[in-house]
């Protein structure tokens, strides 16, 4: 009996030490966790928060524990619907909301919620994890803005290109017409000039024939003159 009591006492002491270690571990984990976490009871009253929650909201434990969680969000109705969904479907859900800090600053956040149950399976509240998505949202908005601007630029460029294309087409048509007319004009001119050249050639050929005839006649005459000169010379002898 005494041995059993001593054994139980030692076991109890060990259990106490384990509990203290566990409590310390939980405390350290809660303080370390960079994710803002809070616990609510079934009346949606905040009953516990961690260090990251204080950093995000600027509320201290004493200021926010005991307050209804809905005071933290701008979209009260949306939060209520989100909470109803978690409780009804008994699963973890996620939504985007606007957090209102202690200084009334609005912060875009992503909120995840999960049901808490006791050992009997009764609903005893919820856990909420809150992430600041301001930077992400700003990045998203900037990207969308840039995409919009570039789309507008592209559309304007496209419109300008189409306009330029239309103008070019008109110009090309006009120049094509000009060239066609010029080509037609040139053909006529070429024909005329060809005719002229042909006529000149004909004239030259005629003149050439005449010139050659004259030359032949002159050679003949020269030969006759030579012959006559020879005859004259002979006659004088």
**Residues in contact with other proteins by the rule CB under 8 A:** 16, 19-20, 23, 27, 39, 41-43, 45, 47-48, 60-62, 65-66, 68, 116, 118, 122-125
CA 156 to chain centre: 16
Nearest approach, Cβ of 50 to other proteins (angstroms)? 11
Output phi, psi for 119, to 5 deg: -65, -20
Q: Are 114 and 126 in contact (CB under 8 A)?
A: yes
Nearest approach, Cβ of 67 to other proteins (angstroms)? 10
Q: Where are the alpha helices (DSSP H) in 33-133?
A: 51-57, 61-64, 76-89
Beta-bridged to residue 110, according to DSSP, are 96, 131
Closer of 21 and 181 to other proteins (Cβ): 21
Nearest approach, Cβ of 44 to other proteins (angstroms)? 8
Closer of 34 and 66 to other proteins (Cβ): 66
Closer of 33 and 65 to other proteins (Cβ): 65
Closer of 44 and 75 to other proteins (Cβ): 44
Residue with tokens 């103008």: 167
Nearest approach, Cβ of 33 to other proteins (angstroms)? 14
Closer of 15 and 91 to other proteins (Cβ): 15
The C-alpha atoms of residue 119 and residue 184 are separated, in whole angstroms, by 103
Nearest approach, Cβ of 60 to other proteins (angstroms)? 6
Give the up-direction half-sphere exposure of residue 36: CA atoms within 13 A in the CB hemisphere. 19
Residues in the chain: 237
């Amino acid at each position: 009996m005494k041995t059993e009591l001593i054994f139980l006492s030692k076991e109890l002491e060990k259990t106490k030490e384990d509990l203290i270690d566990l409590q310390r571990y939980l405390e350290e984990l809660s303080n370390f966790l960079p994710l803002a976490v809070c616990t609510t009871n079934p009346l949606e009253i905040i009953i516990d928060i961690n260090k990251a929650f204080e950093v995000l909201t600027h509320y201290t434990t004493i200021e926010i524990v005991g307050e209804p969680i809905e005071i933290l969000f701008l979209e009260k109705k949306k939060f209520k619907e989100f909470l109803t969904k978690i409780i009804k479907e008994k699963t973890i859900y996620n939504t985007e909301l606007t957090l209102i800090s202690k200084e009334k600053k609005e912060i875009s956040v992503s909120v995840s919620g999960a049901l808490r149950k006791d050992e009997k399976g009764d609903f005893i509240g919820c856990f909420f994890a809150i992430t600041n998505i301001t930077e992400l949202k700003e990045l998203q908005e900037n990207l969308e803005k840039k995409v919009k601007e570039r789309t507008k630029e592209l559309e304007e460029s496209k419109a300008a290109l189409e306009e330029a294309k239309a103008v070019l087409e008109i110009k090309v048509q006009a120049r094509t017409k000009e060239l066609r007319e010029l080509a037609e004009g040139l053909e006529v001119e070429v024909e005329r000039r060809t005719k002229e050249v042909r006529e000149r050639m004909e004239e030259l050929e005629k003149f050439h024939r005449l010139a050659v005839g004259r030359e032949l006649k002159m050679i003949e005459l020269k030969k006759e003159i030579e012959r006559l000169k020879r005859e004259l010379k002979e006659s004088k002898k």
